[in-house]
């Protein structure tokens, strides 16, 4: 216990010195970084904060030190999170590397892959995107057609991916490719390659929100060494499902249940309060309680499942439960926000609206994808029904 | 802190589950209902429960209790809830005993708690005065007299009111109805003259009564805790009741869900198991996810009692509202997914629907607790 107290003191002191003041203010949309080779920082403090946290290994607190991680125990990780929360520190970066491919490499990667990729993920030097969905294969992911054909020590990859987040800005991709056309699930392989490779091109997709964080990604005779396969050839479906579990858990925990998501309570008070400072319309107040209580219950569930996992009790396909509840909750949150703000929360652009109001409007539209990306709500309900409840199709 | 059970608590859970399954099947509640049992619970079952120490689980050892902690009580409530066990657990062990443990004088404790622990004393907390839980607006009055108090007014929907040996009555000693101050809890022997009890027959077959106090004269020693400051004690006890009831409901809804799931895997239509239809699969998955949230809010609230957390009131409201809503939904789906057989009295699932609605409004509906959560969080 005293060791943990000492650790807490150490963390507190370190953060005091190393977390720049502007990194303790609420996140602004255009200061979010995904890291990577060519990234530019609007606010120089963002760069500083990422470098310091990355060098300390605290962007990936639980990863082993030899791969650049923090090497912290679960208890120490908790303390670090608490201390970061205490000073309202911003997340240093949004990273698919940290959330998804990193944890998968720790389980499935070769020693060479771990040493090459993990430290760069921790420090935000290389950013990663995900090549999963294809134009004809979204929810039916296992039908994917992007081909990888052997050629000596390499694979030659041809095909198209879609909904690749930040593909136009990312350095590397982890992609699912077809290495066997005879069988559906058993013919898929996960492979890693540099987005600067010859034959890779991307095209941003403009969304209903006006933003373009997703791309179409094209592979035209891209040559990738065989040693970049993650796990076994033709065993990519298992690897990809493990990755999806990480994705669903981490999106739910870090995004949908984050304290950094915008404050619906403040919106209700700002736009709907009476002279006593409380929300005056009882129905609005009730809706707000529903959202905040669901959020509270979800956070307690993360805590319970985390403690259960630590104690060794298996909890089943919790990632699908988290993803389903978290995504629906986040959509409800934005619906509540624009309802509470009225037309002032539905501006598209212009000086009649504050940047915050415009953010809410665009993020409301963006939130509709929450229950589509990373497995639709319907797919997650299928997973729960089949894998947890044992309800079969026949 | 801990959201998972200790080894000792897991042992208690296993033995409670085994015991309830063997000794307290739903058929026992059915029998009590059909025979219009005078007591509304099985005395034999209660004596077994008492032998295992359940009646005194929250009572200090000094007064012959087990002092096992509130989480232990929560575990028992959850298991008892699985089969809709009718017993004085909520009235006596949760609300009654804890009122006296938290607010009673040494004399009140030594007179009553050992009798509760030995299963020989039933307690009933009398709070509500109308169809809705509304402890903020108590108007039953206890007038100060030279020797004590004169109690007048009617309490409604008192759990186990017709079999109680003592009532714990929330009454107003000063201030207007609606005021949060001026409340006291009074310990009233059922033999005191001027008490009229009407047993109620409710849809869930469980005990409830209206109790009228007509110029009931009480000595000064009837007071629990401090005069006019009973509000804090009352709200604390109500929160314990809400959390324990939420635990009971968690057990009940899980059993209802298990029953649904078994039926989905057994009933065939169009030559296929109905559990293969996606329209039903998704609804089952949603119910399962809701139960996962319920487990967490109940566990967090039980833990908050044991650590005496500042968040207790908030977590009690979170637990009750979350569990209310999930159980409401599951109890409706339980009938719908069983189809015609779910509508028959012969099949047990109807009992789970009937218990749901009573449990939902007992100690506060969802809208009550969402309002309270808003007040506690300042919006």
Domain with B169 in it: what CATH number?
2.40.110.10
Per the CB < 8 A criterion, the answer to whether A174 and A181 are in contact is: no
Average pLDDT of the segment spanning B201-214: 97
pLDDT the model gives residue A260: 59
pLDDT the model gives residue A314: 58
Query: B166 to chain A, minimum CA–CA distance in Å?
Result: 37
User: A172-178 and A128-131 as β-strands: parallel, antiparallel, unpaired?
Assistant: parallel
pLDDT tens over chain A, length 394 residues: 568 899 999 999 999 999 999 999 888 878 889 999 988 999 999 999 999 999 999 999 999 999 999 999 988 998 999 899 899 999 999 999 999 999 999 999 999 999 999 999 999 999 999 999 999 999 899 999 999 999 999 999 999 999 999 999 999 999 999 999 999 999 999 999 999 999 999 999 999 999 888 999 999 999 999 999 999 999 999 999 999 888 887 777 767 766 656 789 999 999 999 888 899 999 999 999 999 999 999 999 998 988 887 777 655 678 899 999 999 999 999 999 999 999 999 999 999 999 999 999 999 999 999 999 888 999 999 999 999 999 988 6
Residues A378 and A270 in one domain: yes
Enclosing domain of residue A73: 2-94
Residues B253 and B356 in one domain: yes
List of residues 6+ apart from A126 with CB closer than 8 A: A35, A36, A37, A97, A117, A120, A171, A172
Using alpha carbons, select from B251, B263, B265 the residue that is nearest to residue B341: B263
Using alpha carbons, select from A58, A49, A67 the residue that is nearest to residue A10: A58
Residues A38 and A137 in one domain: no
Residues A265 and A382 in one domain: yes
Per the CB < 8 A criterion, the answer to whether A360 and B243 are in contact is: no
- Return the sign of the alpha-carbon dihedral for residues A356, A361, A364, A366: negative
Domain contains A109: no
pLDDT the model gives residue A252: 75
pLDDT band (50, 70, 90) for residue B78: very high
In three-state secondary structure terms, A162 is: strand
- Closest CB to A384: pick one of B273, B288, B294: B288
Residues B246 and B346 in one domain: yes
Find where tokens 């022997």 sit: B189
Instruction: Tell me the chain B residues in contact with residue A394 when contact means C-beta distances shorter than 8 Å.
Output: 272-273, 276
pLDDT the model gives residue A248: 82
Instruction: Tell me the chain A residues in contact with residue B333 when contact means C-beta distances shorter than 8 Å.
Output: none
pLDDT the model gives residue A313: 67
Domain contains B71: yes
Per the CB < 8 A criterion, the answer to whether A279 and B374 are in contact is: yes
Instruction: Tell me the chain A residues in contact with residue B294 when contact means C-beta distances shorter than 8 Å.
Output: 297
The C-alpha atoms of residue A91 and residue A76 are separated, in whole angstroms, by 18
Q: What is the largest CA-CA distance in chain B?
A: 79
Enumerate the β-bridge partners of residue A216: A162, A203
Count how many domains chain B has. Answer: 3
Q: What are phi and psi of A106, to 5 degrees?
A: -60, -35
pLDDT the model gives residue B228: 84
The CATH number given to whatever domain includes residue B75 is 1.10.540.10
Q: Which ipTM value was assigned to this complex?
A: 0.95
The CATH number given to whatever domain includes residue A377 is 1.20.140.10
Instruction: Tell me the chain A residues in contact with residue B377 when contact means C-beta distances shorter than 8 Å.
Output: 265, 292
pLDDT the model gives residue A105: 97
DSSP-assigned states of every residue in B105-164: -HHHHHHHHHHHHTT---EEEE---SSS--GGG---EEEE-SSEEEEEEEEEEETTTTT-
Contact B265 A390 (CB under 8 A): yes
DSSP-assigned states of every residue in A207-227: -TTS---EEEEEEEEEEEEGG
User: B268-269 and B272-273 as β-strands: parallel, antiparallel, unpaired?
Assistant: antiparallel
Contact A285 B379 (CB under 8 A): yes
Average pLDDT of the segment spanning B316-332: 98
Chain B residue with the nearest C-alpha to that of A382: B282
The C-alpha atoms of residue B243 and residue B221 are separated, in whole angstroms, by 30
pLDDT the model gives residue B181: 81
Residues A384 and A286 in one domain: yes
Contact B288 A382 (CB under 8 A): no
- The per-residue pLDDT for range B54-69, each reduced to its tens digit, is 999 999 999 999 999 9
Enclosing domain of residue B35: 7-121
Per the CB < 8 A criterion, the answer to whether A34 and A40 are in contact is: no
Q: A109-113, B177-181, B222-226, B365-369: which has the minimum mean pLDDT? A: B177-181
Using alpha carbons, select from B187, B205, B185, B55 the residue that is nearest to residue B121: B55
Task: State pTM to two decimals.
Answer: 0.91
Using alpha carbons, select from B341, B223, B257, B115 the residue that is nearest to residue A384: B257
- Closest CB to A385: pick one of B284, B299, B318: B284
Of the candidates A235, A269, A299, which is a domain's last residue? A235
Average pLDDT of the segment spanning B332-346: 97
Contact A392 B297 (CB under 8 A): no
Angle formed by the axes of helices A355-367 and A318-341, to 10°? Answer: 140
Chain B residue with the nearest C-alpha to that of A294: B322
Domain contains B2: no
The C-alpha atoms of residue A366 and residue A374 are separated, in whole angstroms, by 14
Of the candidates B121, B141, B173, which is a domain's last residue? B121
Residues B201 and B67 in one domain: no
Per the CB < 8 A criterion, the answer to whether A121 and A102 are in contact is: yes
Query: B301 to chain A, minimum CA–CA distance in Å?
Result: 10
The CATH number given to whatever domain includes residue A21 is 1.10.540
Domain contains B1: no
Instruction: Tell me the chain A residues in contact with residue B379 when contact means C-beta distances shorter than 8 Å.
Output: 265, 268-269, 273, 278-279, 285, 288
Residues A296 and A376 in one domain: yes
Chain B residue with the nearest C-alpha to that of A378: B282
The C-alpha atoms of residue A296 and residue B219 are separated, in whole angstroms, by 46
Count how many domains chain A has. Answer: 3
Contacts 24+ apart (CB under 8 A), A55-64: A55/A123, A56/A14, A57/A122, A59/A92, A59/A93, A59/A95, A59/A98, A59/A122, A59/A123, A59/A124, A60/A98, A60/A102, A60/A118, A60/A121, A60/A122, A63/A102, A63/A106, A63/A118, A63/A122
Residues B213 and B163 in one domain: yes
- Closest CB to B289: pick one of A300, A324, A393: A324
Find where tokens 């109905």 sit: B274
Chain A residue with the nearest C-alpha to that of B321: A293
pLDDT the model gives residue B178: 67
Q: A212-226, A315-329, B16-30, B251-265: which has the minimum mean pLDDT? A: A315-329
Residues A46 and A81 in one domain: yes
The answer to whether residue A340 neighbours chain B at the CB level (below 8 Å) is no
Query: B314 to chain A, minimum CA–CA distance in Å?
Result: 10
Query: B86 to chain A, minimum CA–CA distance in Å?
Result: 29
Contact B289 A307 (CB under 8 A): no
Determine which of B7, B283, B296 to mutate to test the interface with A (most A C-beta atoms within 10 Å): B296
Average pLDDT of the segment spanning B240-255: 98
pLDDT band (50, 70, 90) for residue B114: very high
The answer to whether residue A303 neighbours chain B at the CB level (below 8 Å) is yes
The answer to whether residue A195 neighbours chain B at the CB level (below 8 Å) is no
Residues of B with CB under 8 A from a CB of A: 2-4, 261, 264-265, 272-273, 275-276, 278, 280-282, 284-286, 288-289, 292-297, 299-300, 318, 321-322, 367, 370-371, 373-374, 377-379
Contact A297 B296 (CB under 8 A): yes
Residues B29 and B114 in one domain: yes
Q: What are phi and psi of A19, to 5 degrees?
A: -90, 110
pLDDT the model gives residue A259: 62
Chain A residue with the nearest C-alpha to that of B372: A289
Residues B83 and B29 in one domain: yes
Count chain A–chain B contacts defined by CB atoms under 8 A: 121
């Amino acid at each position: 216990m005293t060791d943990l107290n000492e650790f807490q003191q150490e963390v507190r002191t370190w953060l005091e010195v190393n977390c720049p003041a502007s990194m303790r203010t609420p996140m602004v949309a255009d200061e979010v970084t995904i890291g990577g080779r060519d990234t530019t920082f609007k606010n120089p403090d963002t760069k500083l904060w990422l470098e310091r946290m990355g060098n300390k290994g605290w962007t990936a607190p639980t990863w082993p030190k030899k791969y650049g991680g923090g090497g912290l125990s679960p208890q120490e990780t908790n303390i670090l999170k608490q201390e970061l929360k205490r000073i309202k520190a911003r997340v240093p970066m949004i990273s698919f590397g940290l959330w998804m491919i990193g944890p998968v490499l720790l389980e499935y990667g070769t020693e060479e892959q771990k040493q090459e990729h993990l430290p760069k993920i921790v420090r935000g030097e290389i950013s990663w995107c995900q090549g999963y969905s294809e134009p004809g294969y979204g929810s039916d992911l296992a039908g994917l057609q992007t081909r990888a054909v052997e050629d000596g020590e390499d694979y030659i990859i041809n095909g198209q991916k879609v909904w690749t987040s930040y593909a136009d800005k990312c350095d590397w991709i982890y992609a699912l490719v077809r290495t066997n056309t005879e069988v559906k699930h058993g013919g898929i392989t996960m492979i890693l390659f540099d987005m600067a490779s010859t034959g890779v091109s991307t095209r941003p997709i403009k969304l209903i929100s006006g933003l373009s964080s997703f791309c179409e990604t094209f592979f035209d005779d891209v040559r990738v060494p065989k040693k970049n396969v993650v796990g076994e050839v033709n065993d990519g479906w298992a690897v990809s499902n493990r990755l999806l579990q990480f994705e669903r858990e981490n999106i739910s925990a870090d995004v949908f249940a984050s304290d950094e998501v915008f404050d619906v309570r403040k919106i209700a008070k700002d736009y709907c309060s009476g002279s006593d400072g409380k929300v005056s319309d009882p129905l609005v107040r009730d809706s707000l309680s529903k959202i905040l209580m669901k959020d509270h219950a979800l956070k307690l569930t993360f805590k319970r499942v985390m403690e259960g996992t630590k104690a060794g009790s298996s909890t089943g396909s919790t990632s699908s439960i988290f993803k389903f509840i978290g995504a629906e909750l986040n959509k409800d949150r934005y619906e509540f926000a624009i309802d509470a703000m009225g037309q002032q929360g539905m501006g598209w652009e212009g000086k009649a609206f504050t940047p915050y109001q415009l953010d809410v409007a665009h993020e409301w539209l963006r939130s509709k994808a929450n229950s589509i990306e990373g497995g639709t709500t319907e797919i997650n309900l299928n997973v729960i029904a089949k894998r947890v409840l044992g309800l079969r199709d026949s | 802190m801990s959201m998972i059970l200790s080894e000792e608590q897991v042992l208690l859970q296993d033995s409670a589950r085994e015991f309830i399954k063997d000794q307290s099947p739903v058929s026992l509640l059915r029998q009590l209902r059909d025979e219009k049992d005078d007591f509304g619970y099985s005395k034999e079952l209660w004596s077994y429960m008492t032998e295992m120490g359940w009646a005194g689980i929250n009572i200090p050892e000094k007064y012959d209790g087990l002092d096992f902690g509130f989480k232990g009580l929560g575990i028992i409530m959850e298991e008892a809830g699985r089969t809709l066990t009718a017993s004085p657990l909520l009235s006596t062990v949760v609300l009654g005993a804890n009122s006296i443990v938290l607010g009673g004088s040494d004399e009140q404790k030594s007179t009553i708690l050992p009798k509760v622990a030995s299963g020989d004393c039933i307690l009933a907390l009398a709070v509500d005065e109308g169809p809705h839980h509304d402890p903020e607006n108590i108007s039953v009055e206890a007038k100060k007299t030279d020797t004590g108090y004169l109690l007048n007014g009617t309490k409604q929907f008192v759990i186990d009111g017709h079999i109680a040996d003592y009532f714990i009555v929330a009454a107003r000693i000063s201030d207007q109805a609606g005021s949060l101050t001026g409340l006291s809890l009074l310990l009233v022997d059922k033999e005191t003259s001027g008490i009229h009890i009407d047993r109620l027959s409710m849809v869930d077959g469980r005990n409830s009564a209206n109790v009228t106090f007509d110029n009931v004269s009480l000595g000064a020693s009837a007071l629990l805790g401090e005069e006019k400051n009973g509000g804090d004690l009352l709200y604390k006890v109500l929160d314990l009741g809400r959390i324990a009831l939420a635990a009971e409901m968690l057990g009940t809804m899980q059993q209802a869900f298990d029953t649904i799931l078994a039926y989905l895997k057994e009933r065939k239509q169009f030559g296929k198991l109905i559990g293969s239809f996606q329209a039903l699969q998704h609804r089952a998955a949603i119910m399962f996810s809701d139960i996962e949230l319920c487990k967490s809010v109940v566990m967090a609230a039980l833990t908050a009692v044991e650590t005496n957390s500042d968040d207790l009131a908030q977590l009690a409201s979170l637990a009750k509202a979350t569990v209310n809503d999930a159980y409401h939904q599951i109890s409706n789906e339980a009938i719908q997914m069983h189809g015609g057989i779910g509508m028959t009295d012969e099949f047990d699932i109807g009992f789970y629907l009937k218990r749901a609605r009573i449990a939902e409004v007992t100690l506060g509906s969802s809208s009550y607790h969402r309002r309270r959560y808003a007040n506690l969080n300042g919006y």
